């Protein structure tokens, strides 16, 4: 316990030791082939696209949307555990030894992805913007944005009041978007001055609120969410144990599920509707749809747009399969007089209905482009994809039920 | 008075593995309108017995019937006949207190009118009015336990299986629960209650079943147990202590 650096390494190894065996199954599920295929298709499309970049594209907006999520997102894997609040509390003054490598590896890891994105997007940037700034400057500004985002989100965790944490999170979003926007839109010198001023002001503002030396409970809760996130991602492909779930009240959505018919066979629908609107899946889906709409918008003029459209519909369905796994082990479903098949029927129905809405939302950017027949056929293809996904989900679920029954 | 049995546990043996049963040939009944105390040391088999009744474990031998129905043959009828309060609250983090009650009412086919009436009464009785729209994850352990208890009572089935309900409850909560259990029993429902607080349940339960090392070592009313053990005017706690000390 005294060697904090070693302890973190052991925990990191233990976590990934648990995750890695699943990756083999993820690869076997066809992900590797699909990813490889998509990379080739994307490379082919992007090369063609770069040779003839359409005039009048909102290049600054597109780059801002591409860079912002990776620049803002500043999670740190601490691998902390619930018992730490008891056993590691006496070591509080030395916890910097534990957190420093965690912070470093997190920032470097995410920065690499951001820089890869920058390298991929740069050819588009220089072709679409006559006054594009140099790659080296773009990289430096992205590194500054990433460092600020990670430092800010870490300081937010330490803040004592919920109001300060929410306020500073918003401030982080606004300032980092502002910083990237200033770099993209303003002339070179003004842009650089703006970047430096924003960075200094942000660092100064972060010193104001009261902070805990080590925010034990928040760090543990955040770590649980991260671990659950990894498991959820794996859960798209293989059966993994349910992790801790993050829940938000979202009072404005409390009405969802209340109009479900008042009969035992539909009671599971009531529960799973609440799970959908209060769990982590909803914000994931919202972000996913926004990204999907942007991608469909960018690619809608070519055949690749249809591939992207169908791909996003299927990926949305895959994300929603986590709903299936969230209530597999709950005591009440074994005890309450709910028809056993209603869990499957109601979950699949909810996934399908949500997927149809997503199909419609993703179709909107397509609806204003191309000829009407192509538009309609694309939408029908989207609905067929939803139907096929529903069939496959149902079939797989029934197969699993049969396998469980045989095992019993 | 001849009791009509709501729950029949008949020569039940069971456990987690075939070679090592936890329960050995257990038989008892819970009559209509009876409150039965299931008592025993840690590991005596109380929770395992309850898990068998709930259908979470399959008997290796013997049979369990609720109002004549078995889980294997009349699954939905069996399930609709019982409600369970676990020792540790198990709630859905994504649902509020009110939504838990509503989910339970929907599952047990309680009419909307009955649900409204019962939930209003229970929320008031357990002093949860200012928490009814809170997510369960934001409740204290005692409050979570109250939600578990309210969920069971909103369903209003013929049989309640209640495991250590007093853990985490404040004194007012304990009193409300005991009073409500008495009312429930008087209305004709039956309760199988497990608790270590023998001085409390001594005054509320009609009969007691003492489990020790997976066997029923004695059962009956307090008077019958006193007679069988030859200990007149001795509190239940002392009798229990002597019984398990002898059997250790």
Which of the 8 DSSP states describes residue B212? E
pLDDT digits (tens, 9 = 90+) for B183-223: 999 999 999 999 999 999 999 999 999 999 999 999 999 99
Statement: residue A344 has pLDDT above 80: yes
From the list A249, A254, A262, the residue facing B106 with the nearest CB is A262
pLDDT digits (tens, 9 = 90+) for A197-253: 999 999 999 999 999 888 998 999 889 888 888 887 777 776 666 666 778 899 999
CB–CB of A338 and B109 under 8 A? no
Q: Write the ipTM.
A: 0.89
Task: Report chain B residues touching chain A, CB-CB < 8 A.
Answer: 54-56, 75-76, 79-80, 82, 84, 86, 90, 92-96, 99, 102-104, 106-109, 112, 135, 137
Least confident of A291-295, B135-139, B174-178: A291-295
Band of pLDDT at residue A158, cut at 50, 70 and 90? very high
Statement: residue B3 has pLDDT above 60: no
pLDDT at A93: 84
CA distance B97 to chain A (A): 12
From the list A247, A267, A279, the residue facing B107 with the nearest CB is A267
From the list B84, B94, B106, the residue facing A264 with the nearest CB is B106
Burial of residue B143 (CB within 10 Å: 0-12, 13-18, 19+) is buried
CB–CB of B107 and A337 under 8 A? yes
Q: Is residue A245 less than 8 Å (CB to CB) from chain B? A: yes
Q: Is residue A335 less than 8 Å (CB to CB) from chain B? A: yes
pLDDT at B1: 42
Least confident of A117-126, A322-331, B102-111, B234-243: A322-331
Q: Is residue A337 less than 8 Å (CB to CB) from chain B? A: yes
User: Any idea how long chain A is?
Assistant: 408
CB–CB of B112 and A262 under 8 A? yes
Instruction: Give CA–CA dist A315/A312, Å, rounded.
Output: 5
Statement: residue B66 has pLDDT above 90: yes
The set of residues, in sequence order, having a beta carbon less than 8 Å from that of A29 and lying 6+ positions away, is A237, A238
pLDDT at A239: 67
| B183: nearest Cα among B135, B125, B237 | B125
CB–CB of A336 and B54 under 8 A? no
From the list B93, B99, B102, the residue facing A245 with the nearest CB is B93
Q: Is residue A342 less than 8 Å (CB to CB) from chain B? A: no
| B196: nearest Cα among B166, B152, B171, B223 | B166
Computed from CA positions of residues A251, A257, A262, A267, in that sequence, does the dihedral angle turn out positive or negative? Answer: negative
pLDDT digits (tens, 9 = 90+) for A363-392: 998 887 777 888 899 999 999 999 999 999
The proportion of chain A whose per-residue pLDDT surpasses 90, expressed as a percent, equals 48
The residue of B51, B74, B76, B94 whose CB has the most chain A CBs within 10 angstroms, and thus the best one to mutate to test that interface, is B94
pLDDT at B37: 96
Q: Is residue A224 less than 8 Å (CB to CB) from chain B? A: no
CATH 3.40.50.300 intervals, chain B: 1-81+158-173+185-248
Using a CB-CB cut-off of 8 Å, the residues of chain B touching A271 are 92, 95, 103
Give chain A's mean pLDDT. 88
The set of residues, in sequence order, having a beta carbon less than 8 Å from that of A152 and lying 6+ positions away, is A74, A168, A171, A172, A176, A202, A206
Using a CB-CB cut-off of 8 Å, the residues of chain A touching B56 are 331, 334-335
Band of pLDDT at residue A2, cut at 50, 70 and 90? low
CB–CB of A247 and B76 under 8 A? no
Statement: residue B119 has pLDDT above 80: yes
CB–CB of A270 and B106 under 8 A? yes
Statement: residue B2 has pLDDT above 60: no
- Strand B61-66 versus strand B82-85 pairing type: unpaired
pLDDT digits (tens, 9 = 90+) for B81-91: 999 999 889 99
From the list B94, B103, B112, the residue facing A278 with the nearest CB is B94
CA distance A278 to chain B (A): 6
pLDDT at A373: 85
Provide mean pLDDT across the span A169-182: 95
| Chain B residue with Cα closest to A277 | B94
Q: pTM of the prediction?
A: 0.77
Q: Which strands make up the sheet holding B215-220, listed edge to edge? A: B82-85, B159-163, B190-194, B35-39, B207-212, B215-220
The set of residues, in sequence order, having a beta carbon less than 8 Å from that of A399 and lying 6+ positions away, is none
Using a CB-CB cut-off of 8 Å, the residues of chain A touching B92 are 271, 274-275, 330, 332
pLDDT at A29: 66
Q: Do A278 and B94 touch, CB atoms closer than 8 A?
A: yes
Provide mean pLDDT across the span A46-73: 89
pLDDT digits (tens, 9 = 90+) for A276-285: 999 888 988 8
CA distance A390 to chain B (A): 25
From the list A274, A331, A339, the residue facing B95 with the nearest CB is A274
| Chain A residue with Cα closest to B111 | A262
The set of residues, in sequence order, having a beta carbon less than 8 Å from that of B240 and lying 6+ positions away, is B39, B198, B210
| Chain B residue with Cα closest to A261 | B106
Instruction: Give CA–CA dist B180/B186, Å, rounded.
Output: 10
- Strand B190-194 versus strand B35-39 pairing type: parallel
The proportion of chain A whose per-residue pLDDT surpasses 70, expressed as a percent, equals 96
Q: What CATH number is given for B1-81+158-173+185-248 in this structure?
A: 3.40.50.300
pLDDT digits (tens, 9 = 90+) for A82-121: 888 888 888 888 888 899 988 888 899 889 999 999 999 9
Q: Is A263 left (phi over 0), alpha (psi -120 to 50) or beta?
A: beta
CB–CB of A278 and B135 under 8 A? yes
Q: What is the 3-state secondary structure (H, E, C) of chain A?
A: CCCHHHHHHHHHHHHHHHHHHHHHHHHHHHHHHHHHHHHHHHHHHHHHHHHCCCCCCCHHHHHHHHHHHHHHCCCCCCCCCCCHHHHCHHHHHHHHHHHHHHHHHHHHHHHHHHHHHHHHHHHHHHHHCCCCCCHHHHHHHHHHHHHHHHHHHHHHHHECCHHHHHHHHHHHHHHHHHHHHHHHHCCHHHHHHHHHHHHHHHHHHHCCCCECCCCHHHHHHHHHHHHHHHHHHHHCCCCCCCCCCCCCCCHHHCCCCCCCCCCHHHHHHHHHHHHHHHCCHHHHHHHHHHHHHHHHHHHCCCCHHHHHHHHHHHHHHHHHCHHHHCCCCCHHHHHCCCCCCHHHHHHHHHHHHHHHHHHHHHHHHHHCCCCHHHHHHHHHHHHHHHHHHHHHHHHHHHHHHHHHHHHC
Chains A and B form CB pairs within 8 A to the count of 68
pLDDT digits (tens, 9 = 90+) for A246-268: 788 999 999 999 999 999 999 99
Least confident of A141-150, A397-406, B50-59, B111-120: A397-406
């Amino acid at each position: 316990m005294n060697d904090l650096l070693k302890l973190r390494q052991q925990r990191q190894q233990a976590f990934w030791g648990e995750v890695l065996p699943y990756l083999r199954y993820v690869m076997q599920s066809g992900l590797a082939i699909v990813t490889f295929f998509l990379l080739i298709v994307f490379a082919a499309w992007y090369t063609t696209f770069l040779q003839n970049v359409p005039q009048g594209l909102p290049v600054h907006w597109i780059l801002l949307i591409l860079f912002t999520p990776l620049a803002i997102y500043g999670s740190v894997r601490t691998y902390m555990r619930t018992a730490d609040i008891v056993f590691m509390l006496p070591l509080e003054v030395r916890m910097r030894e534990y957190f420093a490598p965690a912070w470093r590896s997190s920032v470097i890891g995410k920065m690499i992805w951001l820089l890869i994105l920058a390298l991929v997007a740069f050819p588009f940037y220089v072709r679409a913007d006559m006054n594009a700034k140099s790659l080296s400057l773009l990289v430096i500004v992205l590194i500054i944005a990433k460092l600020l985002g990670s430092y800010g989100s870490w300081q937010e965790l330490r803040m004592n009041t919920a109001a300060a944490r929410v306020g500073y999170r918003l401030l982080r979003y606004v300032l980092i978007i502002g910083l990237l926007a200033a770099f993209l839109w303003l002339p070179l010198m003004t842009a650089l001055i703006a970047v430096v001023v924003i960075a200094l002001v942000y660092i100064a503002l972060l010193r104001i609120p009261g902070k805990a030396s080590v925010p034990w409970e928040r760090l543990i809760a955040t770590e649980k969410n991260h671990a659950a996130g990894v498991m959820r991602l794996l859960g798209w492909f293989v059966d993994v144990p349910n992790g801790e779930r993050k829940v938000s009240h979202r009072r404005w959505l409390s009405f969802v599920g209340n109009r479900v018919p008042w009969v035992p066979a539909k009671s599971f629908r009531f529960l799973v509707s609440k799970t959908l609107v209060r769990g982590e899946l909803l914000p994931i889906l919202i972000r996913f749809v926004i990204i999907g709409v942007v991608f469909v918008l960018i690619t809608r003029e070519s055949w690749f747009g249809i591939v992207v459209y169908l791909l996003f519909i299927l990926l949305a369905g895959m994300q929603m399969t986590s709903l299936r796994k969230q209530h597999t082990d709950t005591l009440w479903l074994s005890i309450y007089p709910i028809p056993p098949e209603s869990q499957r029927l109601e979950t699949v129905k909810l996934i399908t209905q949500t997927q149809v809405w997503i199909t419609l939302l993703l179709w909107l950017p397509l609806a204003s482009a191309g000829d009407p027949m192509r538009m309609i056929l694309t939408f029908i293809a989207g609905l067929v994809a939803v139907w096929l996904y529903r069939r496959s989900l149902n079939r797989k679920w029934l197969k699993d039920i049969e396998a469980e029954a045989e095992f019993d | 008075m001849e009791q009509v049995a709501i729950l029949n546990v008949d020569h039940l043996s069971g456990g987690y593995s075939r070679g090592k049963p936890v329960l050995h040939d257990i038989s008892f009944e819970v009559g209509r309108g009876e409150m039965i105390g299931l008592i025993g040391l840690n590991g005596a088999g109380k929770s395992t017995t309850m898990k068998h009744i709930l259908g979470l474990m399959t008997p290796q031998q013997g049979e369990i019937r609720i109002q004549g129905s078995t889980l294997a043959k009349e699954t939905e009828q069996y399930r609709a006949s019982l409600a369970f309060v676990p020792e540790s609250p198990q709630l859905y983090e994504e649902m509020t207190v009110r939504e838990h009650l509503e989910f339970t009412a929907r599952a047990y086919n309680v009419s909307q009118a009955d649900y409204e009436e019962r939930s209003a009464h229970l929320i008031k009785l357990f002093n949860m009015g200012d928490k009814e729209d809170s997510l369960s994850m934001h409740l204290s352990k005692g409050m979570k336990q109250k939600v578990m208890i309210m969920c069971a009572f909103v369903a209003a089935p013929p049989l309640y299986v209640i495991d250590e309900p007093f853990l985490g409850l404040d004194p007012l909560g304990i009193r409300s629960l005991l009073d409500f259990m008495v009312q429930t029993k008087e209305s004709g429902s039956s309760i199988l209650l497990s608790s270590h607080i023998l001085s409390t349940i001594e005054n509320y339960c009609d009969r007691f079943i003492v489990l020790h090392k997976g066997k029923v070592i004695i059962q009956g009313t307090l008077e019958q147990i006193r007679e069988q053990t030859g200990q007149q005017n001795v509190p239940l706690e002392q009798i229990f202590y002597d019984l398990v000390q002898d059997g250790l």
